[in-house]
């Protein structure tokens, strides 16, 4: 692992769904940005962006309950509904709920659904919102995803080596140029071992499409003072790029930016291009 790939969350918060690991980078008086990861990832996918943005912004990153370095435990509620509530808790814990303190939110994959649920169902306020290849429209989940989620008790009993190979293949199927080996292994590792293996299937089993259906008809109610950006990798193998225009059409004032040749994990496939898009978005005031 290179120094650039090293990533550690040094703070904890006890949420309603278990202990959350988080970190903050940048000057205390800088304007706030919050980065949300998706599934089956962690804040590791935002490491380079958090470090770069910290020159001008106060950047908050976190691993959702059941993901990355955060708590993984039997019986834990790690559904999209729970993650939306926990995000609201964290915004309050971070002091980002008072008028004038609202953050810019940048959310990837199902982090997009979490951010939208927190906003539409729990009253979370954002200064601006960027959605990167978000899980936000039905249908939800590939055939493999549905298979894992429908039979978690079976897959939890796979031999550990077979489970690791399955997770590695699954995470590596995001499209685009493909993840570097070191990055892929870092994303796979939290899902292995006695704690990680059942946690992998637990989070899939709980992420039912109904959590998207509950908000998909309300995107016209999205209201943030600044612009809404929908950004998508054109070679996303998990969520069709056509969802970009469909989602933007439902959100007032949203606009679309496509990243040519990038797959679902745009942060790894085209980091320079995505950073340029996000830096321009953040600079709009």
Q: What is the pLDDT of residue 247?
A: 98
Q: What is the pLDDT of residue 2?
A: 64
Distance of CA 184 to the CA centre of its chain: 16
Chain length of the chain: 285
What is the mean pLDDT of the segment spanning 195-208?
95
d(C-alpha 124, C-alpha 117), whole Å: 9
Q: Given a cut of 60, is residue 1 above it in pLDDT?
A: no
Give residue 142's pLDDT band: very low, low, confident or very high (50, 70, 90). confident
- Give yes or no for a contact between 135 and 109, defined as CB atoms under 8 angstroms apart: yes
**What angle, rounded to 10 degrees, do the helices at 181-188 and 160-171 form?**
120
Q: Given a cut of 60, is residue 222 above it in pLDDT?
A: yes
Strands 58-63 and 228-233: unpaired
Is 55 strand, coil or helix? coil
Residues contacting 12, CB < 8 A, separation 6+: 19, 20, 21, 22
Counting residues of the chain whose pLDDT is more than 90, the rounded percentage is: 89
Q: What is the pLDDT of residue 282?
A: 94
d(C-alpha 150, C-alpha 100), whole Å: 44
Distance of CA 164 to the CA centre of its chain: 22
Q: What is the pLDDT of residue 146?
A: 85
Q: What is the pLDDT of residue 128?
A: 96
Q: Given a cut of 70, is residue 3 above it in pLDDT?
A: no
- Give yes or no for a contact between 185 and 179, defined as CB atoms under 8 angstroms apart: no
Is 60 strand, coil or helix? strand
Q: What is the pLDDT of residue 76?
A: 97
Which one has a higher pLDDT value, 80 or 150?
A: 80
Give residue 162's pLDDT band: very low, low, confident or very high (50, 70, 90). very high
d(C-alpha 13, C-alpha 113), whole Å: 21
What is the mean pLDDT of the segment spanning 104-127?
97
Counting residues of the chain whose pLDDT is more than 70, the rounded percentage is: 98
What is the mean pLDDT of the segment spanning 44-68?
97
pTM score over 0.85: yes
Q: What is the pLDDT of residue 145?
A: 86
Q: What is the pLDDT of residue 139?
A: 83
């Amino acid at each position: 692992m290179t120094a650039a790939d090293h990533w550690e969350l040094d703070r904890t918060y006890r949420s309603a769904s278990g202990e959350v690991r988080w970190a903050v980078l940048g000057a205390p008086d800088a304007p706030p940005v919050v980065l949300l990861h998706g599934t089956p990832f962690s804040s590791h996918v935002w490491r380079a962006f958090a470090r770069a943005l910290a020159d001008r912004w106060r950047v908050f990153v976190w691993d959702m309950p059941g993901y990355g370095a955060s708590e993984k435990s039997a019986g834990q509620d790690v559904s999209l509904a729970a993650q939306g509530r926990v995000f609201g808790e964290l915004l309050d814990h971070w002091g980002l709920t008072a008028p004038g303190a609202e953050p810019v939110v940048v959310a990837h994959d199902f982090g997009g659904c979490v951010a939208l649920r927190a906003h539409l169902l729990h009253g979370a306020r954002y200064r601006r919102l960027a959605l990167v290849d978000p899980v936000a429209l039905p249908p939800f989940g590939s055939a493999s995803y549905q298979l894992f989620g429908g039979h978690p008790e079976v897959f939890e009993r796979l031999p550990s080596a077979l489970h690791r190979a399955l997770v590695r293949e699954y995470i590596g199927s995001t499209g685009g140029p493909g993840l570097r080996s070191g990055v892929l292994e870092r994303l796979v590792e939290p899902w292995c071992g006695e704690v990680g293996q059942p946690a992998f299937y637990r989070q899939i089993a709980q992420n039912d499409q109904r959590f998207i259906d509950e908000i998909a008809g309300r995107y016209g109610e999205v209201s943030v003072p600044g612009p809404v950006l929908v950004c998508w990798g054109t070679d996303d193998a998990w969520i069709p790029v056509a969802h970009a225009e469909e989602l933007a059409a439902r959100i007032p004032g949203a606009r679309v930016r496509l990243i040519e040749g990038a797959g679902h994990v745009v942060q790894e496939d085209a980091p320079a291009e995505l950073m340029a898009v996000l830096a321009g978005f953040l600079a709009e005031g």
